[in-house]
């Protein structure tokens, strides 16, 4: 343990310059640590601290200042891996650098603890929402949807292709966001509101909804097996349905679950249990 007090306010202990390489390293450390120490208390804060350690050690040569910086980055934190994690590791590197310079030059501290935490907290939820629905919800399933037919034919490529493709995508997009977050610095907040980023989010949200429609059409399979005879002529319910609106039943199921969420909130497990129960009953009595 290095508690050497003689290093205090030593003039040669200027903060080192943070380079793009340092930011990339911080992001890769975040990318690795991400969910490992996930806890109820601080969620992903320990991962952010662990990611930022090398950057903070370059900036704060004084033990007390370094400890303060560690504690700043260990406050409650929860976001998504690449969008949130990327932008915020880059942004925190830039803000900590400004803070270290202000402390070192004994200037007035404008980069306060509150400002840093509020910036982080303001971005983490918003970016998690965008990042989850676009990365995990859309891009991951585009990869999986492409590969499913291979898996159905017994081809191991059906597993390897989406795994490798999505893993590479995430590292690259995360590094990109980390660098963006670092170079825009505090403007990252307004970066999110700029026309370019807003248009990109709009485009990806629409693509997400579009691909969900394609997935629903291909992979949600609900059809009626009900058939009986009406005055000697066979009546097959599914054929009648197909002649009115093809694909009606799967759509009803998807929109039904969506309607449930909009009434009851995002209760995924409960929706899963309800739907399973309803499908079991309808299948057992021969309607589906």
Count of beta carbons in the 10 Å neighbourhood of residue 49: 22
CA 264/CA 129 separation, integer angstroms: 19
Residue 188 beta carbon to another protein: minimum distance, rounded to whole angstroms = 9
Residue 123 contacts another protein per CB under 8 A = yes
Question: Which one of the spans 89-97, 99-107, 137-145, 232-240 is the region binding another protein (CB under 8 A)?
Answer: 137-145
Count of beta carbons in the 10 Å neighbourhood of residue 17: 10
The C-alpha angle 93, 95, 100, rounded to 5 degrees, equals 90
Contacts for 64 with CB less than 8 Å, ≥ 6 apart? 8
**Mask for 46-75, x = binds another protein (CB under 8 A):** xx-xx--x---x-----x--xx--xx--x-
Residue 97 beta carbon to another protein: minimum distance, rounded to whole angstroms = 16
Query: 230 vs 284, which CB is nearer to another protein?
Result: 284
In the set 40, 229, 230, 263, which binds another protein (CB under 8 A)?
40
Residue 121 beta carbon to another protein: minimum distance, rounded to whole angstroms = 9
Nearest to 20 by CA among 179, 137, 147: 179
**Mask for 248-287, x = binds another protein (CB under 8 A):** --xx-xxxxxx-xxx---x-xx-xx--xx--xx-xxx---
Residue 49 beta carbon to another protein: minimum distance, rounded to whole angstroms = 7
Secondary structure in 3-state letters for 143-207: HHHHHHHHHHCCCCHHHHHHHHHHHHHHHHHHHHHHHHHHHHHHHHHHHHHCHHHHHHHHHHHHH
Torsion of CA 20, 22, 27, 29, to 10 degrees: 160
Residue 117 beta carbon to another protein: minimum distance, rounded to whole angstroms = 10
Question: Which one of the spans 5-13, 14-22, 41-49, 95-103 is the region binding another protein (CB under 8 A)?
Answer: 41-49
Restricted to residues 90-109, the positions that interact with another protein (CB under 8 A) are none
Restricted to residues 162-221, the positions that interact with another protein (CB under 8 A) are 162-163, 166-167, 170-171, 174, 184, 186-187, 189-195, 199, 202-221
Residue 232 beta carbon to another protein: minimum distance, rounded to whole angstroms = 27
Q: How would you classify the pairing of strands 227-230 and 233-236?
A: antiparallel
Which residue shows structure tokens 């930022």? Answer: 52
Nearest to 200 by CA among 120, 124, 136, 131: 131
In the set 6, 106, 156, 232, which binds another protein (CB under 8 A)?
156
């Amino acid at each position: 343990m290095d508690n050497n007090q003689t290093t205090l306010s030593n003039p040669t202990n200027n903060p080192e310059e943070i380079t793009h390489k340092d930011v990339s390293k911080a992001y890769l450390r975040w990318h690795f640590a991400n969910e490992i120490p996930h806890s109820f208390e601080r969620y992903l804060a320990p991962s952010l601290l662990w990611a930022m350690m090398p950057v903070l050690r370059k900036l704060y040569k004084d033990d007390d200042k370094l400890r303060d910086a560690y504690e700043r980055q260990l406050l409650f934190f929860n976001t998504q891996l690449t969008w949130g994690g990327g932008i915020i590791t880059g942004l925190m590197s830039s803000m900590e650098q400004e803070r270290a310079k202000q402390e070192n030059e004994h200037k007035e501290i404008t980069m306060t603890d509150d400002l840093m935490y509020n910036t982080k907290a303001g971005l983490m939820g918003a970016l998690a929402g965008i990042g989850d629905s676009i990365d995990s919800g859309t891009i991951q399933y585009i990869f999986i949807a492409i590969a499913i037919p291979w898996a159905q034919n017994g081809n191991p490529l059906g597993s390897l292709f989406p795994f490798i493709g999505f893993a590479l995508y995430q590292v690259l997009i995360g590094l990109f966001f980390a660098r963006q977050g670092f170079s825009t610095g505090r403007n990252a907040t307004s970066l999110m509101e700029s026309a370019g980023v807003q248009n990109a989010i709009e485009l990806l949200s629409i693509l997400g909804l579009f691909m969900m429609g394609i997935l629903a059409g291909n992979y949600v399979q609900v059809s009626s097996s009900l058939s009986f005879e009406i005055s000697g002529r066979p009546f097959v319910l599914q054929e009648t349905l197909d002649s009115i609106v093809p694909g009606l039943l799967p759509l009803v199921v998807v929109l039904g679950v969506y309607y449930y969420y909009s009434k009851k909130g995002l209760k995924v497990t409960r929706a899963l249990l309800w739907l399973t129960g309803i499908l079991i009953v309808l299948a057992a009595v021969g309607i589906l």
